[in-house]
Structure formats: C-alpha cells, structure tokens
Amino acid sequence: NAGVTQTPKFRVLKTGQSMTLLCAQDMNHEYMYWYRQDPGMGLRLIHYSVGEGTTAKGEVPDGYNVSRLKKQNFLLGLESAAPSQTSVYFCASTLGDTEAFFGQGTRLTVV
Amino acid sequence: GDSVTQMEGPVTLSEEAFLTINCTYTATGYPSLFWYVQYPGEGLQLLLKATKADDKGSNKGFEATYRKETTSFHLEKGSVQVSDSAVYFCALRNSGNTPLVFGKGTRLSVIA
C-alpha cells in the first residue's frame, strides 16, 4: 500500500516556467489537499478537493491551479512560476474525519 | 476563522528531560485536535489525536489532553530521546470535510 505519492520530489524552475505537481493516493480517500511549507510559516493550505471533479481555494491560492479529474489524483499547477513560490509542497488525503496521510513532499526552487 | 497557536521554537532538551509544547486554538463549534510530527526530510505523520473535550490522545510516550475550558491541547512527554528530534505541529479540524488548520510548528532537538 503506497499511501500518498508525490512526483516529482525535487524541481528547479526558471521564473516564468510552468509545471504540474502530481499527487496520487491509493486509499480511496474523498478529500485531498495541497499545502506549502515555508520556514516560520507552518503549513498553509493552497487548494483542496472534497471529491472527484470538485476543487476549492484555501488560504494562499494565488498563482496556483488544481484539478481533480480522477478520485485518486490531485494535480497542482503553476502557470508562471515566481521566486515567491519556492517552497516545499505537501499533498494530503483523508477519508471523512480520519487522520490525514501526507506525501513525502516536493521541494521546488524557482530561480 | 479557525486558528492554532503553538509555542515558538526551537526547543533544545537533554535526553530524558520532560517535554511540553504548548498549543492553543480558536474555533467555532467542537473541533477535533491533532498533533503531527515531521522527521527530517519526510512528510507529516499523525502522532495523536483527540475528538472531544477531556479526551486524552497518546502514542509513543507522548500525551495531550483536549481542554475545552482553556482551548488548549498541550503536548507532553516524560522522558525525551534523541530519536524524538523533529518538528511538531498542532492542528485542528472543525468538521469531517474541512481542511486541517495547522500551527506554525515547533522544532525539537534532543541532545545526548
């Protein structure tokens, strides 16, 4: 049972480039989340999804888009990367009120 | 909105010392409360949780009690080990389909 898998694990982008982060879970969870982790800021919610085909904005959604076309996948897109988006990105999933399972993280650097 | 405040770190302790990491919250209704731990280079994993007032969550020697009257969920461990060195996050969820809200994290370093 793989749990929550994020790809890629590391990436360096140039300002203005685009990329997509993939989160995949094999636990049949309804809810999926994207957070970013920055020093001294804890985890801040970017976007989340309460089911296939639905998405909602979190605390810091600007500059990001998401899609949940399949229940098991939650994609996070950066259309035009900026240095302020340098961060560690975590995906998580839950089934109702159970514990959240996290991926290993994606370390993104925008230069 | 809902929020979580936890003590700022870093916290440095000697092995076998007593640990307390304070956490207080602001929320409407009756949230569930969690402590997550992040070891170096890894994602977060659940350490313990409590879903109603006066519940005590415990795991791996760590404990935390849901105190509604003080809106607190302090993490404690009687005797820390070097292997407990990590970042600890307090979090809440207000209902089953709402996202977790995290505190800023507290980095713990335990020295031998």
pLDDT tens digits, A44-87: 999 999 999 999 999 999 999 999 999 999 999 999 999 999 99
Mutate to test the interface with A, among B46, B51, B97 (most CBs of A within 10 A): B97
Given CB atoms, is B100 within the 8 Å cutoff of chain A?
A: yes
Report the candidate in A87, A43, A53, A7 with the shortest Cα–Cα distance to residue B6.
Answer: A43
Given CB atoms, is A90 within the 8 Å cutoff of chain B?
A: yes
Residue A26 corresponds to which tokens in the numbers above? 């094999």
The pLDDT of residue B96: 63
Q: How many CA atoms lie within 13 A of A12 on its CB side?
A: 1
Q: What is the pLDDT of residues A42-54, one digit of tens each?
A: 899 999 999 999 9
Q: Do B92 and B70 touch, CB atoms closer than 8 A?
A: no
Q: Do A19 and A78 touch, CB atoms closer than 8 A?
A: yes
